[in-house]
Amino acid sequence: MSAYLIRRLLGAVVVMWAVATLVFFMLRMVPGDPFLAMVFDTGDPAAADDMRRAFGLDKPMYVQYLKYLQQVLQGNFGNSIYGSGIPVSQIIAEAFPRTMSLTLLGFFMALIIAIPAGLISALKKHTAIDHGVTVVAFLGLSMPDFWLAILLIIVFAAQLHWLPAIGYVALDQGFWPWFSHLIMPAIAIGTPFAAIIARMIRSSMLEVLKADYVQVARSKGLKHSYLIFMHAMPNALIPVITVMGIALALLMAGAVVVENVFAIKGLGRVLIQGILNRDYPVVQGAILVVSVIFVLANILVDMMYTVIDPRIRYQ
Amino acid sequence: MALLEVKGLGLEFSSPGGTVQAVNKISYDVEPGEIVAVVGESGSGKTAAALSILGLVPQPPGKIVAGEISFDGQNLLDLSEDEMRRIRGRRIAMVFQEPMTSLNPLLTIGRQLTEAMRLHLGLGKAAANDRAVELMNMVGISDPQRRLGQYPHHFSGGMRQRVMIAMVLSCEPELIIADEPTTALDVTIQAQILSLMQDLTEKLGVAMVIITHNLGVVARYADRVNVMYAGRIVEHGTAVELYRNPAHPYTIGLLNSVPRLDRPRGSPLEPIPGNPPDLTALGRGCAFMPRCRFATPACGEATPDLQDVGGSHVAACWELEKIRSGKAA
Query: What integer pLDDT is reported at residue B327 of this predicted model?
Result: 60
Is residue A313, in this structure, part of any structural domain at all?
no
From A85, A107, A128, the end of a domain falls on A85
Is residue A138, in this structure, part of any structural domain at all?
yes
Is residue A315, in this structure, part of any structural domain at all?
no
Cβ–Cβ under 8 Å, residues B317 and B248: yes
Residue type, B156: S
CA-based nearest distance B173→chain A, Å: 11
pLDDT above 70 coverage of chain A, percent: 97
CB contact under 8 A, B85 and A221: yes
Query: What integer pLDDT is reported at residue B115 of this predicted model?
Result: 92
> Domain limits at A66?
2-85
- Judged by average pLDDT, the poorest of A74-78, A130-134, A214-218 is A74-78
B184 vs A contacts (CB less than 8 Å): none
Residue of B nearest to A307 (CA): B106
Distance CA B109, CA A254 (A): 43
Cβ–Cβ under 8 Å, residues B88 and B176: no
Helix B157-169 and helix B109-120, axial crossing angle in degrees, nearest 10: 10
Distance CA A95, CA B156 (A): 54
Which backbone phi and psi does B280 adopt, to 5 degrees?
A: -85, -15
> How many domains are contained in chain A?
2
- What are the distances in angstroms from CA B59 to CA B16, B45, B52, B64? 15, 16, 10, 9
Q: Let me know whether A290 and A229 are in one domain.
A: yes
Burial of A59 (0-12, 13-18, 19+ CB in 10 A): middle
CB contact under 8 A, A222 and B89: yes
Q: What is the mean pLDDT of residues B21-39?
A: 88
Among A283, A301, A315, which residue's Cα sits nearest to residue A88? A283
Cβ–Cβ under 8 Å, residues B136 and B166: yes
Of the residues B86, B106, B120, the best mutation for testing chain A's interface (the one with the most A CB atoms within 10 Å of its CB) is B106
B104 vs A contacts (CB less than 8 Å): 213, 217, 231, 235
Q: Let me know whether A101 and A225 are in one domain.
A: yes
Is residue A266, in this structure, part of any structural domain at all?
yes
Distance CA A144, CA A244 (A): 20
Distance CA A11, CA A5 (A): 10
Specify which residues A194 forms β-bridges with. none
- Read off the pLDDT of residues B123-132 as tens digits, 9 standing for 90 and up: 889 999 999 9
Cis peptide before A45 (omega within 30 of 0): no
- Give the closest of B94, B98, B120 to A219, CB-based: B94
Biggest alpha carbon distance in chain A? Answer: 85
B88 vs A contacts (CB less than 8 Å): 218-221
Domains and CATH numbers, chain B: 4-103+155-328 (3.40.50.300)
Q: Parallel, antiparallel, or unpaired for β B74-75 and B62-71?
A: antiparallel
Among A254, A104, A265, which residue's Cα sits nearest to residue A183? A104
Query: What integer pLDDT is reported at residue A40 of this predicted model?
Result: 66
This prediction's pTM: 0.79
Query: What integer pLDDT is reported at residue B329 of this predicted model?
Result: 44
Q: Angle at the Cα of A119 (from A192 to A258), degrees rounded to 5?
A: 15
Residue of A nearest to B153 (CA): A311
Question: What confidence category does residue A280 fall into, taking pLDDT thresholds of 50, 70 and 90?
Answer: confident
Is residue A177, in this structure, part of any structural domain at all?
yes
Question: Which residues have a Cβ under 8 Å from the Cβ of A300 and sit 6 or more positions away?
Answer: none
Q: Let me know whether A102 and A118 are in one domain.
A: yes
How many residue contacts between A and B have a Cβ separation below 8 Å?
Answer: 70
CB contact under 8 A, A219 and B86: no
DSSP conformation class of A312:
-
